[in-house]
Amino acid sequence: MKKVTRLRLACTGTFLLSLMGTPALRAQPAAAVATAAATATAAPAASLAQQLDDYVRQYEKAGLFMGTVLVADQGKVVLQKGYGLANRDKATPNTPETKFRIGSLTKQFTAALVLQLVEQGKLKLDGKVADYLPNYPQPAGARITLHQLLAHTAGLPDYTALPTFATAVMRSHQEPTQLVALFSGLPLEFAPGTQYHYSNSGYVLLGAIIEQVTGKPYAQVFQENIARPIKLKATSVDVVEAPDPRRAAGYQATPNGLVPTPPIDMTVPYAAGAVTSTALDLYRWSLALDGRKALTEASRKQLFTPVLKNYAYGWQVFKAKIGAEADTSLIQEHNGGINGFSSFLVRVPQSQQVIVLLDNHNSQSLGDLRRGLLRILHRQPAAAPVVASAPVAPAAGAAPVAVSTALLGTYVGVYELSPSFRITVRERAGRLFVQATGQSEFETEAASPVLFSLKGLPAQVEFAKNTNGEVAQLILHQGGHAQRAAKVE
């Protein structure tokens, strides 16, 4: 049996995960959680817009969201509103006009630029990196294709995970050639095209190729080929954006409250995560994709065709049942995160639904909020928000905590980290076992009534209840990060 050393999320759209800051949303007191139960039908006579707004407000009151939300249904905007503060020092509220850094949502723009250049005959999806950057180190330069870069199947190590990233790279100006040099000489993680592994390096390399074939900076190509034709007036690459009072400041949660997030030089995320936008502009972008204003039909189809692990070109694309619905819905989405900001853009084409979530305090709950809003749109009950307390590691040599079989039974179920990655929890003979998609089963050992260590793996799973007292979420603690998975079965 293949040895498994890590529970790994199969697909993530977060750029610069190392910059997401302290996951201290978990450290907020449980009293901060809104006490009202969150359901899609809290008030039978309430309009859809009111139900959506009420649900977002529960996340706001629980300290799990501050930012801007836009929700469209059947091609019409039904909610567009700001929550919380864009700038705490100036007491500036978030509004629909507030501008946010969108992190990895940038990747879909970079993918579209590549496809436009393919349409123009300047690039080929099966073209090799060395075809456009002759000095790129071999043999990788002659093996990696643009298609593989777009789909995260190139095998490139992620430069944001390098040991020197936080100390020597993150806060200093970087030219594209310098960014490429950070990873170009490193060994590939696997043979190109054989596996999926999310890597910001691939989209940095695509940005450098765009500059090479156009003879223009990436920011200029973005403005000329996407922002200007589609009339995205509040969207730009951060490094060329003039000071704007509409811009939100980024924060991170700590046990002592929100504090400004550590700075990052915005030349560093580049074509993988440097765009700033608004909820309305991202909705315009979604409409442009439907209206063929950005790409030809053939290119649009390519943009949304998944390759491995539901990942297409800058988009995750999959079919899923929403709530108790009998039919599956096609969902196209991506999320992003960068120093104090989190984002989500979700499309459900068959019902012309769009959800835009932009947050300026490193929320780790946007996936849950997104899931609840989708359920409300589909007339399904939505789970109450969950705030988990910080896990307490057992003292060295401490005996395992005894947990009743009845309590263990409440944890049994299926928890979804992503549409292609679930964690199944089982109870047998008074012991709890967890198994992730495609991986071996692990026995656990209780460190507390809600926190369980995985035997043979440096990871823990924590179980959290919603405001109705129901176990609603599993939190995977591993590698200094906390990944939240909603209970779906």
In 159-296, where does DSSP find H-type helix? Answer: 176-183, 200-214, 218-222, 228-230, 270-273, 279-290
pLDDT at 394: 52
Q: Which fold has domain 405-487?
A: Lipocalin (2.40.128)
- DSSP β-bridge partners for residue 316: 311, 333
Taking the C-alpha atoms of residue 447 and residue 23, their distance in angstroms, rounded to an integer, is 20
The alpha carbon of 66 is separated from its chain's Cα centroid by a whole number of angstroms, namely 16
Q: Give the strand pairing for 471-478 and 459-465.
A: antiparallel
Tell me which residue of 9, 7, 8, 12 sits closest to 342, measured CA to CA: 12
Instruction: Considering only residues 441 and 31, tell me which one the structure prediction assigns the higher pLDDT.
Output: 441
Query: Which residues, listed in sequence order, are joined to residue 72 by a DSSP beta bridge?
Result: 77, 354
pLDDT tens string 154-172? 999 999 988 888 888 988 9
Residue % of the chain over a pLDDT of 90: 63
- DSSP per residue, 397-438: TPPPPP--HHHHHHH-EEEEEETTEEEEEEEETTEEEEEETT
> Which residues make Cβ contacts (< 8 Å) with residue 38, sequence separation at least 6?
54, 55, 58, 372, 382, 383, 384, 385, 466, 467
Residue 419 pLDDT grade (very low, low, confident, very high; cuts 50, 70, 90): low
User: Which pLDDT belongs to residue 17?
Assistant: 31
pTM across the whole model: 0.79
Look up residue 13 and give its two tokens.
Answer: 């759209």
Q: In the predicted model, what is the mean pLDDT of residues 172-195?
A: 96
CB neighbour list of residue 36: distance below 8 Å, 6 or more residues apart: 42, 58, 467
Residue 65: which pLDDT band, with cuts at 50, 70 and 90? very high
For the chain, the average pLDDT equals: 86
- 482 pLDDT band, cuts 50/70/90, is confident
Average pLDDT (396-415) is 83
Residue in the block written with tokens 């123009």: 120
| DSSP run (H or E) holding 289 | helix 279-290
> What are 218-228's pLDDT values in tens digits?
999 999 999 99
Q: Can you tell me the distance from the alpha carbon of 362 to that of 66, in angstroms, rounded to the nearest whole number?
A: 9
Helix (H) or strand (E) holding 206: helix 200-214
Q: Does residue 123 have a pLDDT over 90? A: yes
Assigned token pair, 441? 């089963």
What is the rounded CA–CA span in Å between residue 451 and residue 456?
16
Is the pLDDT at 187 greater than 60? The verdict is yes
Residue scoring higher pLDDT (455 or 4): 455
pLDDT for residue 458 is more than 50:
yes
**pLDDT at residue 21 above 80?**
no
Q: What is the pLDDT of residue 291?
A: 86
Query: SS3 for 12?
Result: coil
- 96 vs 16, residue with greater confidence: 96
Neighbours of 228 (CB within 10 A): 11
**pLDDT band, very low/low/confident/very high, at 324 (cuts 50, 70, 90):** confident
Over 70: is that where the pLDDT of 173 sits? yes
CATH class of 9-385: alpha beta
pLDDT of 33 strictly over 70: no
pLDDT tens digits along 326-355: 788 999 999 999 989 999 999 999 999 999
Give the pLDDT mean for 440-447: 87
Residue spans in the chain of domains classed CATH 2.40.128.50: 405-487
Q: What is the pLDDT of residue 36?
A: 30
Structure tokens at 232: 């995205």
> Which of 252, 435, 455, 466 shows the shortest CA–CA distance to 361?
252
pLDDT at residue 35, as a whole number:
27
Write the CA distances from 166 to 16, 161, 177, 264, 467, integer angstroms.
Answer: 10, 9, 19, 9, 37
pLDDT at 483: 80
Residue 199 has pLDDT above 60, yes or no: yes
Which residues belong to CATH 3.40.710.10 in the chain? 9-385
Q: Which of 265, 143, 269, 148 is nearest to 207 (CA)?
A: 269
